[in-house]
Each structure stands twice: as C-alpha cells, then as structure tokens.
Amino acid sequence: MDIYIARQPIFNKDMSIFGYELLHRRNAHNCYENEDHSGATAELIRNSFLVLDFDNLTNGTKGFINFTQDLLEAEIPQILPKEKVVVEILQTVEASDIIIEVCKKLKKEGYTLALDDLIFDRTGYDYTPLIELADIVRIEFSISDKRKQRELLKKYKNKVTFLAEKLESREEFKEAAAMGYDLFQGYFFSKPVMMKSKEIASLNVHLIQILKELQKAEPNFSKITETIEKDLGLTIKLLRMANSIYYGAKTEITSLQQAVVRLGIMEMKRWISILLIKDFENDENGELIKVCLLRGKLLSLMARELRRSVLETDFFFTGILSSIDIIMEQDMETILSDLALSEDVKKALKGEKGQLRECLDTVLLYERLEFDEAMAKLQAMGIDLGRFTELYIEALSWQRNAF
C-alpha cells in the first residue's frame, strides 16, 4: 500500500528546527475538502510510527500531529510517546467540558499541547480555558488582525509560546519576531534574502579546482590529490570520509591518493559539491542547506528510477545547487559562470525547460505540499507517487547521515 506523509519545518528565532508538522496526504485523485480528518490522523500515526521511522521523519525533534474532537475524547494521544509528539488541537475542536478534562490529563502526564489556527472572536464555547492550557498557540500571521494578535501575545506571553504560521517573506518573519512570536512556520526560509553582497571569490578555490578536474573525461587523481594537500581541512575531511563505515572500509586509509581512488569520481563530485555549499552554512541558512542536500539525493534517486543513471551526477548537482544563489546571496548567473557544471545543469538551475528542471520542479511542488501538480508531473514521468514517497524517505535518511 502506498504511504503519503508530508512534513513542514517549524523554526525557533535562531532559525534552528524546533520540530515538524506531520501531515497525512492522499493521492491526487482524492478530494481533500471532504477528507475524514480522524481517519487521516489515525493513518498518519500508524504510518509514521509503525511503517516509517518517526525519528527519521522529525530529525530527532518533535512531530506536531493534528487531533480531532473524536480522537481527543477517545484519548488517542496517550498511546504516543510524550517526548516525541506535540498534540495539536484542531480549530474545529470545541472547548467542551470533556475536552478540557482530557487536555488537563494530557498536561498532567507531560504532553505538549498546541492550538491550531487560533480563531479570534469565535462563538460557541468559551475558548479561553484551552488557551490557558496550551503550551503553544498557532496563529495565521498574515490574515489575522495584528492588533488582536498583539493583545493576545501581551496577555499570555509569559504562559504560552506563540507560533506564527504561513509566513511568506523575510519581512513577515522579522515583524512576527518583533511582535513577540517564538516559533515560525512558512516558506520564508527559502525565499531570496537581499543583504550585503558576497564576492564570488569567497567560493573555496581548492574545491572549484577539484570540481573542474573531476568534470574532465579522464580526471587526473594525482592533480586532485595535490590540490587537497594544500588544504589541511580538506585533507582531514577526505581521510575521515574514506575511512568511514559508510564507504565500507576494511583497512585504514592513510594516503590521500588512496582516499581519492576509494571514493571514486562520482562520490568525489558529490563530496566536493556538499562542501561547496556547507562553506556558507550559518544560523539563518542551515535548514536550507539541509533541504538542498535532500533535493540532491532525491533527484539522484529519481535518475535511477528514470533509468538515467549515467546522468545521476547532473541530477544530484541540480538539487544540491538549487538554492545556491540564496545561500551565497548572489545572482545565479554569476555563480554558475564560475562552476564546472554541464550545460544541462546550468540551464536547469537558471529555470530553463528540460528533464532536469522538470524533476526539480516536481521536488519543489512536493516540498510545498502541492500534491495535485506533483502527481501530474510524476505520472508523466512514469513514477508512482507512493514510490516517490519511498525515495523521499530514503533521501531523508541519507541527508541526516551525510555530514
């Protein structure tokens, strides 16, 4: 049976990951509006804990899981490990006496409670008791009245952690942080950030030289070794990588040339490209770099699925460098002019049509949870969405252990 699980990151103010919201998704033929939310959550719990590796899905952080009125009243959250989940109370849940008692019990047992999409001026049951029990309150920042947001934050700031969701820009993130929010969710982390420019020369010249040599029909391993020897940091990293269990080392490698040969051309290309973008890792773009690593591995797996293994490196580069302009705060055209990449990769990164760009666009649609469009592109490629999800989980596992 095909499994569909999506995840959206939730950030702290320092741009580190606080957790992931886990979402059940069906294939593109289902109607999301009429989805059985209780059944969807039950299936999500089963798949994420019994079929997939929950810690892998959440990178060892907490997973936010939606719960309906029925599931809360049936005390379903108690079957889950309190240290791994955040019990997210959907906005459709009424603050009835039963729900209040259930939430009090969950709090007493040590569970973290979150209110999803807080609705201001809601009628019916008084929602105040739930707000006061909640550890986290999620608010749709851009569409909710800013004055009412400020009033709520001021009233509960010392009791509740507030999460601003659906942030679409760096400006919204800064505004929410200034207002007093502590957690953030949205696409702002992957949007271009216009700050002071960085010189292209800040790219590690040794990495560029090695990459250019590896792009040749017959790379000179002696030349590559000589270049690595000039950089103590590269030397240590290469020897550590070559001797790692990941590469199945049986005898210790002490020679740089031995290490280069053991890794081989394809792995050397990947290794160099990873180091190339990680040179620019900081508190603000760390998650984006992880996303790029994930994209690269996922695209390389797609290459195999599409029987294009000969172009696997191009697929990998397309994914891993897909946001290099944001990471370096440079124009993509300028960056690519200094990189030894195939013309197909450069065209894909500049947005020009072709198979590489089509595959990258599919991955981006999947990241944004736009499953209808992603499904249509996957079907055109001959890849089932269930199979694609398996590839995503495999890529996620690789990304977590890459560096």
Does 195 map to a domain? Answer: no
Q: What is the CATH number of the domain that holds 89?
A: 3.20.20.450
Helix H or strand E segment including 6: strand 5-11
Does 78 map to a domain? Answer: yes
Residues 234-248 have pLDDT tens digits of 777 777 777 664 455
Residues of the chain with confidence (pLDDT) below 50: 1, 27-34, 123-124, 190-202, 245-246
End-to-end CA distance of the chain: 32
Owning domain of residue 277: 200-402
Residues 40-63 have pLDDT tens digits of 777 777 766 655 667 777 878 899
Does 398 map to a domain? Answer: yes
The verdict on 338 and 365 lying in the same domain is yes
Distances (CA, A) of 247 to 97, 219, 241, 301, 315: 58, 21, 8, 18, 21
pLDDT at residue number 202: 42
The verdict on 138 and 210 lying in the same domain is no
Helix H or strand E segment including 154: helix 146-156
pLDDT at residue number 49: 65
The verdict on 205 and 351 lying in the same domain is yes
pLDDT at residue number 281: 72
The verdict on 346 and 218 lying in the same domain is yes
How large is the angle between the packed helices 355-367 and 312-320, nearest 10 degrees?
50
The verdict on 173 and 244 lying in the same domain is no
The verdict on 398 and 278 lying in the same domain is yes
Q: What is the CATH number of the domain that holds 216?
A: 1.10.3210.10
The verdict on 300 and 384 lying in the same domain is yes
Does 292 map to a domain? Answer: yes
Nearest CA among 272, 250, 136 for reference residue 203: 272
Chosen domain end from 143, 163, 190: 190
Residues 72, 75, 76: CA angle, nearest 5 degrees? 90
User: Per DSSP, what are the bridge partners of residue 163?
Assistant: 138, 183
The verdict on 308 and 391 lying in the same domain is yes
The verdict on 18 and 145 lying in the same domain is yes
Question: What is the token pair recorded at 315?
Answer: 């697929």
CA 193 to CA 367: how far, in whole Å? 20
The verdict on 177 and 282 lying in the same domain is no
pLDDT at residue number 129: 86
